Amino acid sequence: MVQTTNNIDNNTLYTLSIQVSLNGLSFCTANAEQEITALAYENFGVQLTPEQVLEKIKYVLDHNPDLKHDFSTIEVIYQSELYTFVPKALFDENHLKEYLNYNVRVLATDFIAYDELSQHEIITVYIPYTNINNFFFDTFGSFTYKHSATILLDSLLAQQKNNEQTTIFANINSKSLDLIVIKKGKFILGNTYPYDTKEDFLYYLMFVAEQLELNPEEFKLVFLGDIAKDSEFCKIAYTYIRNVDFGKRGKEIIVSKEVKSFEPHEHFVLLSHF
């Protein structure tokens, strides 16, 4: 879904992407050459309310000098478990609430949005944070918003279109993990699960593998997101899964020397469209 009021000076060429969850906040900026000029992440440590997250966003915008540009493009990415994937052939815009009711508690006041993965005949139905949308609309006028699962799945399907292997992608976020299963280039399953410990991660991973009758000796596990290569998640995965690797974006990105270095698998969703 897109807000289309054009109140931004189109002669400015900086882009702002900001990824929002109740547990953390990250953003990046890019110039006209698509060079990443700033990248930052804050883990809140606890789960906040949407109202508290908005206050965090306001503070960052007010106090971070990297966010003082007149941005020509602004994208807000919502990272939450409040979504589901629907095959386009079964999608009807008049039944958004019904799609979510299977695995998300929907309140009468909730606004429901959807993204289309046009190349893959898939729709992401989700609940954005309306107070944050209203703030960006009132402050900047024109901006777009998507769910992180849309960007994650779209990027992975583009990478995997010619891969005959079965792969489980584990995109690690603060307090949640996205598991995406792709087999022979086709989307099989996607969901988000909460975790506190490495055992939680292993439980959901093996549960998904068992439900899909995947052999841990045969499928490949690929880590993305907020995870170090020496983390406990990796160590426990190596114990049970034969093929474990770390992913990367589908194309190389240009990063300013001013930006702190990071691994190719980190910030996967935030940077996938550059």
pLDDT > 50? residue 3: no
Q: pLDDT value at position 12?
A: 56
Please report, for the domain that includes residue 17, its CATH number: 3.30.420.250
In-domain check, residue 105? no
Please tell me whether residues 128 and 9 are part of one structural domain: yes
Lowest mean pLDDT among 2-11, 86-95, 228-237, 244-253: 2-11
Quote the number of domains for the chain.
2
pTM, rounded to two decimals: 0.93
The pLDDT > 70 percentage for the chain reads 96
List the one residue out of 109, 103, 110, 108 whose CA is nearest residue 85: 103
**How do residues 164-196 score in pLDDT, each as one tens digit?**
999 999 999 989 999 999 999 999 999 999 999
| pLDDT value at residue 250 | 86
Give how far Cα 249 sits from Cα of 7, 138, 266, Å.
32, 33, 9
Q: What are phi and psi of 124, to 5 degrees?
A: -100, 120
The CA distance from 98 to 5, in Å, is 30
Which residue in the block uniquely carries the two structure tokens 């055992």? 199
Residues 26 and 124 in one domain: yes
Residue 92 lies in a domain: no
Q: What is the mean pLDDT of the chain?
A: 92
CATH of residue 173: 3.30.420.260
By the 8 A CB rule, do 168 and 209 touch? yes
Instruction: Indicate if 127 and 232 belong to the same structural domain.
Output: no
Do 132 and 191 lie in one domain? The reply is: no
91 within domain boundaries? no
- The verdict on 262 and 145 lying in the same domain is yes
Q: Which amino acid does the sequence have at 35?
A: E
Q: Are residues 175 and 261 in the same domain?
A: no
**For residue 102, is it within any domain?**
no
**Residue of 116, 105, 126 whose CA lies nearest to 153:** 116
If asked whether residues 168 and 54 sit together in one domain, one would say no
Question: Residue holding tokens 């995965």?
Answer: 237
Residue 90 corresponds to which tokens in the numbers above?
């079964």
Question: What's the domain range around 10?
Answer: 2-81+112-153+251-271
Per-residue pLDDT, averaged over 67-96, amounts to 95
Q: Which of 171, 157, 154 is nearest to 221 (CA)?
A: 171
